[in-house]
Amino acid sequence: MGPTGRAPREARRLLTGTTAGRVFEQLGYVDFYLLTTLAALPGILLFAWLVRSGLVDAAIAEEDVRAAAGGAAGADAQSA
């Protein structure tokens, strides 16, 4: 990615970071994390529904988790 892609990425990070910081300061630690957990629930539920409906292959997800847990060595051992 060239230099033109860097500025928008940094601007998004600055915008979301400052917004989250302000919300955190206003709500406090516990309420902020409860809010972010509630905000994430629709995505988690959608992913669970996609897995149950067969739109996401569970075997692929399990293999990705195993590969991430074992690192590159785990992936090499499985392919050998």
Q: Which of 34, 39, 65, 37 lies closest to 51, judged by CA? A: 65
pLDDT digits (tens, 9 = 90+) for 26-77: 999 899 899 999 999 999 999 899 888 887 776 666 777 778 887 655 445 5
Q: Mind spelling out the 3-state secondary structure of the chain?
A: CCHHHHHHHHHHHHHHHHHHHHHHHHHCHHHHHHHHHHHHHHHHHHHHHHHHHCCCCHHHHHHHHHHHHHHHHHHHHHHC
* Full domain range(s) for residue 9: 3-79
Our count of domains for the chain comes to 1
Residue, of 52 and 7, whose pLDDT is higher: 52
User: Using CA atoms, how far apart are residues 14 and 12, in angstroms rounded to an integer?
Assistant: 5
Say if residues 26 and 34 touch (Cβ distance below 8 Å): no
